[in-house]
Structure 1
Amino acid sequence: MYDALVVGAGPAGLMYSRVLAAKGFKVAVVEKNEQLAVKPCGEGISARVLKTAEIEKSDYNRFISHVIKGAVIVAPNGKEVIVKEEGEMGYVIDKKNFLRVMGEYSASTGAEIYMKEPVKELTFQKDHWLVKTRTMELEAKLLVGADGYLSFVSRTLGLEKPGERKVIPAIQYVMPNVDVHDPDMTYFFLGNDVAPKGYVWIFPKDGRLANVGIGVQGAAPKAYLDKFIKMHPEIFKKVDILEFRGAAVTIGGMLSEIVTDHAILIGEAAGQVIPLTGGGIHTSIAGGKIAAEVTAKALEEGNLSKQRLSEYKDKYNEYWGKRIKDSLKGLHAIEKLSDDELNQLAEILSPEDVVNLANGENVASVAVKLLKHPLFSIKLARALLS
């Protein structure tokens, strides 16, 4: 009998299992894939992520591919908004190695991790779950769904309503010889001809490798990414494609229900992704951490009711949930803008405004600035302040 069984060994599940096992609880993690980090990812993180994840600095070199000093956001007309900070703004990581380190930390606290064990059946029996995987039957007092945007747990438990989760298709190439102006910067390209209601990204990695990807709405991502590469020979003159992956990304905000009796959702399974950027590593690690702190107390009290576990949702919403909600407001407003309006926005917003808007932080200050402009007062500011 486990105190908690976590479905999914991504950032949320590994953080949750580590924190809970470190408190002396018996925890198991079951992962459907044979290896970690199967889903494609731009692999860019802010420096703050590693602090939230409590990774030792001595382990950074095991997964950091490149130190990033800033970002270049390119408007449809080619105008660049350059975001820079003193020191290290973030990193491009090797996500597989990053999750290996997180898995190592989790296992070192006593969590048991089982790979290639997709969940086949979930049955609640009086006061605990019976979980059948490919080769095992496990029992647990608490079930934790950390199984991503195709969450078996969320759908089986009825926490995810039909059509509630909004996803967009995203694809990514890993390419050598990508010739960007400054390899210490990340690049984001906007425009309805570039990536309808989305963006193209270039994240330089170690050597001359780069992650080159796209997320779009209502369009074929590969066709647009291939067109973008063809239209920019100055960047992609000598490239090849070493890897090609595709997946969907949750951009609709958090699910309305992420807690029920004896069960919770964390990470992308719960919709813990910043909608405007599609970034979910930091939000998922934070979700796993907060959930573990709350469920540890609930387990000690012997109370795993929905009401008791709802403290996790409340604590998450204080900061992270608000960011996700505000970013979703920004996404809904920006995805309606024409290329001309996106160009005007690039003239108005400062680099700090762009970062805040993208991350769902201090959006009220961005809205106040936009209120001074008649066009954006109607189209953006009011939406952000609603």
Structure 2
Amino acid sequence: MQYDAAVVGAGPAGLMFARVLASKGFRVAVLEKNETLAVKPCGEGISARVLQTAEINRSDTQRFVSHAIKGAVVVAPNGRKVVIKEEGELGYVIDKRNFLRVMGEYAASYGADIYMKEPVKEVVFKNGHWTVRARTVELEARLLVGADGYLSYTAKALGLEKPGERRVIPTVQYVMPNVELEDPDMTYFFLGNEVAPKGYVWIFPKDGRLANVGIGVQGASPKAYLDKFIKNNPSIFGKARILEFRGAAVTIGGMLSEIVSEHAMLVGEAAGQVIPLTGGGIHTSIAGGKIAAEVASKALAEGDLSKKRLEEYKKLYNEYWGKRIRDSLKGLHAIEKMSDEELNQLAEILSPQDVVNLANGENVASVALKLLKHPIFSIKLAKALLS
């Protein structure tokens, strides 16, 4: 089977890439190793801007939006709350599997072929084409796109991921009914070395009183800390029970230094396109798939799939998204070294908008300038953000 592009992985980045490239008249194949979409656990929270980047029809949102979110509550180790709230809907908690089904439907409507339960076993480049061998499918493509997540086979096969370059944090998540939140229209984040060492606990309310309850930690057992958190908060979880349990790792080390090579590209988490401080990757991955496809369409039309030509994708992505990832990584490096007392002080100093900017890697210079006025944080955080 002959294709212009073979995409390994049917996550947000891979499906977005497939849709955009197929919409321009190119033949695209997507190979997904799992039987179903969205196997990896995810908090499933997205900002309202994600739907704009993904170009999702408003009429289709009802198929995957579980709950509209008005804001977030960040809880410091001492219990102090920073409330982030705006008028209207700040974002949504989604059913990620249904979200990806919609994205897959869009890609397929433009002619992309999607093959499920087809883990890629081998990729070989010869005479300007890739031969891609999966479980039962074998195809040829001019362009190979790795969209296969933090365990990316493609990144390793291409030699783009250097040993030890990818830094990950282990996470676990429960889906729980009867979670009693003070405000069920808000998402909650809990910080502290006793709560989640070098990480955080999240609660994302879905429909009714169902919620995603998860944790990411470093150097400790995520499940042990999540179980302890649930036990220590009976007012929230007294009537709650565990319906589902999933675990996985999330890339938090920033983008890989190389994300393109001859006739090949990496997108999404395979490329490290995740906001390090939050572990959020849906928006950054969709943007990566979209930008990569725009560049790939021009390169395919020109018949030039050289690394030099495909570098335009990296350049365009870095102008906004790559900078956000780098700035968020600076914040992570500084905050993960802080004591609980310092985190408590930080909660008093920063405004809700400062917290949003720091977490998302946006406008960090303004946050740094505020922190420069404080002796402790001028050294520990502000200079790191300005470096």
TM-score by length of 1: 1.00
Correspondence list, 1:306-325, <5 A: 306-325=307-326
Cα deviation, residue 136, structure 1 = 1.4
Q: Once superposed, which parts of structure 1, at least 4 consecutive aligned residues long, lie more than 6 Å away?
A: none
Q: Give, in angstroms, the shift of residue 86 of structure 1.
A: 1.2
- What pairs with 1:283-302 in structure 2 (closer than 5 Å)? 283-302=284-303
Three-state SS of the structure 1 residue aligned to 2:18 is helix
Segments of structure 1 that go 5 or more residues without pairing to the other structure are none
Q: CA deviation at 1:2?
A: 0.6
Partner of 2:167: 166
1:264-343 equivalences under 5 Å are 264-343=265-344
Q: Which residue of 2 aligns with 1:121?
A: 122
1:238-277 maps to which residues of 2 (within 5 A)?
238-277=239-278
Deviation at residue 309 of structure 1 after TM alignment: 0.1
Match of 2:17 in 1: 16
Amino acid at match of 2:211: A
CA distance in 2: counterparts of 1:323 and 1:315, whole angstroms: 13
Q: Which residue of 2 aligns with 1:228?
A: 229
Secondary structure of residue in 1 paired with 2:165: coil
Once residues 60 and 157 of structure 1 are traced to their aligned partners in structure 2, the CA distance between those partners, rounded to angstroms, is 37
Q: Which amino acid aligns with 1:74?
A: V
CA distance in 1, matches of 2:208, 2:235: 18
1: distance between equivalents of 2:200 and 2:329?
16
Offset of residue 85 of structure 1 = 1.1
Classify the secondary structure of the residue corresponding to 1:207.
coil
Q: Which residue of 1 aligns with 2:70?
A: 69
Instruction: Give the residue type in structure 2 aligned to 1:346.
Output: A
SS at structure 2 position matched to 1:149: coil
Q: Secondary structure at the match of 1:119?
A: coil
Deviation per residue, 1:310-356 (Å, 9 max, x gap):
00000000000000000000000000000000000000000000000
Deviations 1:183-205 (Å, cap 9, x if unpaired)? 00000000000000000000000
What secondary structure is seen at the aligned counterpart in 1 of 2:377?
helix
| CA deviation after TM superposition for structure 1 residue 226, in Å | 0.3
Question: Per-residue deviation at 1:120?
Answer: 0.5
Give the 3-state SS of the residue equivalent to 2:121 in structure 1.
strand
| Structure 2: tracts of 5 or more residues without a match | none
Deviation at 1:143, TM superposition (A): 0.0
1:91 aligned partner: 92
Give 2:78's aligned amino acid. Answer: N
Which amino acid counterpart does residue 289 of structure 2 have in structure 1?
G
What whole-Å deviation, never above 9, does each CA across 1:101-153 have from its counterpart, x for those lacking one?
00000000110000000001110012000000000110000000000000000
What residue number does 2:347 align with? 346
One-letter amino acid of the structure 1 residue matched with residue 229 of structure 2: F
* TM-superposed deviation, 1:230: 0.4
Per-residue deviation, residues 155-194 of structure 1 (Å, max 9, x unmatched): 0110000000000100000000000100000000000000
- Distance in 2, Cα, partners of 1:5 & 1:136: 12
Query: Over aligned residue pairs, what C-alpha RMSD do you find?
Result: 0.3
Partner amino acid for 1:204?
Answer: P
User: 2:218 maps to which residue?
Assistant: 217
Percent of residue pairs bearing the same amino acid type:
81
* 2:379 maps to 1:378: yes
Give the aligned partner of residue 80 of structure 2: 79
Partners in 1 of 2:137 and 2:205 — Cα distance? Answer: 41
Q: Which amino acid aligns with 1:358?
A: A
Q: Which amino acid aligns with 2:52?
A: K
**Structure 2 letter corresponding to 1:110:** G
CA displacement, residues 210-229 of structure 1 (integer Å, 9 cap, x when unaligned): 00000000010000000000
How many angstroms does 1:31 deviate by?
0.3
Please state whether the residue corresponding to 2:383 is helix, strand or coil. Answer: helix
Q: Matches of 2:296 and 2:87 in 1, distance apart?
A: 38
Q: CA deviation at 1:362?
A: 0.1
Q: Within 2, Cα distance between the matches of 1:157 and 1:22?
A: 27
Whole-angstrom CA distance in 1 between matches of 2:136 and 2:29? 14
- TM-score normalized by structure 2? 1.00
